[in-house]
Amino acid sequence: MIRKRRSGDDGAPPQPGSLASAVAPATVEVTPRWLRVGDGFAATLVVTGYPAEVGPAWLEPLLSWPGRLDLALHIEPLPAPIAADRLRKQRARLESSRRADSERGKLADPYVDAAAHDAGDLAERLARGAAKLFRVGLYLTVHARTEDELLQACAQVRAAAASTLLEVQPATWRQLPGWTTTLPLACDGLRMLRTMDTQALAAAFPLSSPDLPAPLPGDPSATGGVLYGINPASAGIVWWDRWTQENHNSIVLARSGAGKSYFVKLEILRNLYQGVQVAVVDPEDEYLRLADAVGGSIVRLGLPGVKINPLDLPVGDRRPDTLTRRALFLHTLVSVLLGHQPPPAERAALDRAILAVYRAAGITADPATYGRPAPLLRDLAATLRADDDPAAATLAARLAPWVQGSFADLFDAPTTQAPVGHLVVWSLRHLPDELRTVGTLLALDSIWRTVDSPQRPPRRRLVVVDEAWLLMRDGEGARFLFRMSKAARKRNAGLTVITQDAADVLGTDLGQAVVSNASTQVLLRQAPQAIDAVGEAFGLTNGERRLLLSTRRGQGLLISGVSRTSFESIASDAEHALCTTDPEFVATLPDFGGNFEVDDL
């Protein structure tokens, strides 16, 4: 046994403040089969045998081994004359062996025949310049906390290597040179080399990193971001900060039951911890329990007594063009109510009536008047009826069902609930189909007014649109998503689009624009019928397509530009209780009653 103290190049103790004094272990204990480095143990293994043929990323089983493993690949190019001479001698030995066996009447050795054929093929590619030869050494250093754990870890690494037909041997009596060989010193102290050609060597490199790139020192993402989950391949943590990307938008695409809403609820919770203001368009009441638990606001459109006045001006907005922008929205609202854009004469009458009804309420272009009570939709219809223009009377008659008919319940009184708070959920489940489009437009308009309102200092806002395929079928909803995806970044906001129908999103120009303007893209389990369209839109490899067809609930891919990684959502017990929609589990939960605390997580 040899014990060495930490020292400099001359054997003397390192000077205080030097690099060696900061990173070198205090002692290194050397034995024939392992090292004790500081308070841990290490053993170096040498790859001595390789399979006859290898596929792409043939080192992946070793690179993805979950323990601590240092893998070093030392590459030395062989000069062309030396490579040609060695290959010529190798071919001569193989041909001589084959000829000797034939003269003695022995059966041909299949291994020798295969090696001679491979050598001839390699010589031909070398002559054409299609390949080069390299001397390659592959070494593995396994780390563990105790000697017993080290033995078990070495056995696991050898099993992982055997899965790709790699033969591994311990560097007996050479553990110290083996350890230094796997350090980033570019020094091969073992010299256990094997000749490889370009194709085999290139296949050794991993095609992609199993984890996202680590942030650089000083990068804001080094301190921000939220936990997305763990990487099933490497057991590493997937930590992502959407607010440091080119834009703050994301799209979550998955089949029904794949866990997309569960994942988004986790992201909402973890963004709320950091002071992000969140608004959710919820068609199926999946976010109500979460909003109740964290003290958020819920606007249940369609329930008795819930009123929305579309003529309300944005609270606190004192910009001179606020009234003009409200008038333009009312033109859009009337078009949605009628199902089409009214003819020019009716549009002109509507514009006159909008300005007149606001003047009658004492609201003008002067921002000082914006705080006065806004008129109602029935006041606008009455102003149209008072107009002498026949087009105005026609338009007033067409608006009658929404003013005094069966569809008037949503608009016949001032707004009953202000959508304010750190989390606002717009519930659309109770709206009848005839009012679903109008109610969605009102919710989106309120969210946009909040995002677009001037605020100092600006606060991060997250807009979540669940089941976006319902909106993509409607022209106004699709245009809202497009506008948000384009303009959200300039307003310190991010848009999250969740959908299970890839055709409605990827099959339209507006849907493709939403996808292309999302720097964060999350793909969970996909339906076989949609995987081709999804794979083409997101540039998925065949392996990634197979992954998305077979993943469990909550597993998928996180894609951002050229960076991508697989991940699995994880949650604490309290988070799981808020995010799950399993009916049997939900039935056993107590009522949070708004008493939820962040410390419960």
Per DSSP bridges, beta strands 461-465 and 69-77 are: unpaired
pLDDT digits (tens, 9 = 90+) for 95-107: 777 677 666 666 6
CATH fold of 307-416 reads: Helicase, Ruva Protein; domain 3 (1.10.8)
What is the rounded distance in angstroms from the CA atom of residue 192 to the CA atom of residue 372? 85
Opening angle at CA 583, ends 578 and 584, nearest 5: 100
Nearest to 204 by CA among 43, 63, 45: 63
pLDDT at 451: 85
- Determine if the pTM surpasses 0.75: no
**CA–CA separation, 438 vs 313, rounded Å?**
18
**In this structure, what token pair is assigned to residue 270?**
């973890």
Report the distance separating Cα 350 and Cα 330, nearest Å.
9
| Tokens of residue 172, six digits | 């007996």
Render 101-127 in DSSP notation, one character per residue: HHHTTPPPPHHHHHHHHHHHHHHHHHH
Q: How far is CA 280 from CA 355, 464, 489, in A?
A: 32, 5, 18
The neighbouring-strand residues paired with 5 are 27
Mean pLDDT (10-residue bins), the chain, 601 residues: 47 57 73 88 93 76 83 87 74 72 67 67 69 88 92 92 89 91 90 84 65 48 76 79 90 89 93 92 90 92 88 84 88 85 90 92 89 90 91 91 83 85 91 82 86 75 84 70 84 89 74 85 90 87 88 90 86 90 72 45 40
* Contact present, 461 and 451 (Cβ < 8 Å): yes
CB 493 within 8 A of CB 451: yes
Q: In this predicted structure, what is the pLDDT of residue 487?
A: 87
Cα angle 353, 357, 360 (rounded to 5 degrees) comes to 140
Residue 117: both structure tokens together: 């054929």
Place of tokens 């120009």: 509
C-alpha 384/C-alpha 53 separation (Å) is: 82
Residue 493, strand partner residues: 461
Specify the pLDDT at position 457: 62
How far apart are alpha carbons 172 and 182 in whole angstroms?
15
- Write b or e for each residue in 449-483: b if 16 or more Cβ atoms lie within 10 A of its Cβ, otherwise e: bbbbbeeeeeebbbbbbbbbbbbbeeebbbebbbe
Share of the chain above pLDDT 90, in %: 27
Closest CA to 465 of 249, 228, 227: 249
Residue 242 per-residue DSSP state: G
User: What residue type is assigned to position 191 of the chain?
Assistant: R
Closest C-alpha to 372, from 383, 358, 388, 384: 358
- What are the C-alpha distances in Å from 429 to residues 138, 425, 426, 478? 61, 12, 9, 19
CA distance 87 to 200: 16
DSSP structure string for 430-481: TS-HHHHHHHHHHHHHHHHHHHHS--SS---EEEEESSHHHHHTSHHHHHHH
For 246-305+420-585, which CATH class? alpha beta
Are 181 and 187 in contact, with CB atoms under 8 Å apart? yes
Tokens describing residue 300: 């249940």
pLDDT at residue number 598: 39
Distance CA 407, CA 437 (A): 13
Give the Cα separation of 114 and 224 in Å (integer).
Answer: 56
Residue ranges of alpha helices (H) inside 15-109 are 19-23, 60-63, 80-103
Domain boundaries, the chain: 25-75+134-207, 79-131, 246-305+420-585, 307-416
pLDDT in tens, 145-175: 999 999 999 999 999 888 888 999 999 999 9
Structure-token pair, residue 435: 């009012």
Whether residue 25 contacts residue 35, with contact meaning beta carbons closer than 8 Å, is answered with no
Chain centroid, CA 403 distance in Å: 45
Query: Is the dihedral angle over the CA atoms 142, 146, 151, 155 positive or is it negative?
Result: negative
Angle at 14 between CA 10 and CA 19, to 5 degrees: 110
Residue 108 has a pLDDT of 65
CA 380 to chain CA centroid, nearest Å: 46
Cα distances from 333 to residues 79, 311, 330, in angstroms, run: 75, 10, 5
CA distance 256 to 238: 24
* Cβ neighbours around 13 below 10 Å, total: 12
For the chain, the first-to-last Cα distance in angstroms comes to 50
- Note the pLDDT tens digit of each residue in 353-405: 999 999 999 998 888 898 899 999 999 999 999 988 999 999 999 988 888 87
The DSSP code for 32 is: S
Burial readout 211-249 (b: 16 or more C-beta within 10 A, e: otherwise)? bbeebeeeeebeeebbbbbbbbbbebebbbbbbebebbb
**297-300 and 423-427 beta bridge pairing:** parallel
% of the chain beyond a pLDDT of 70: 84
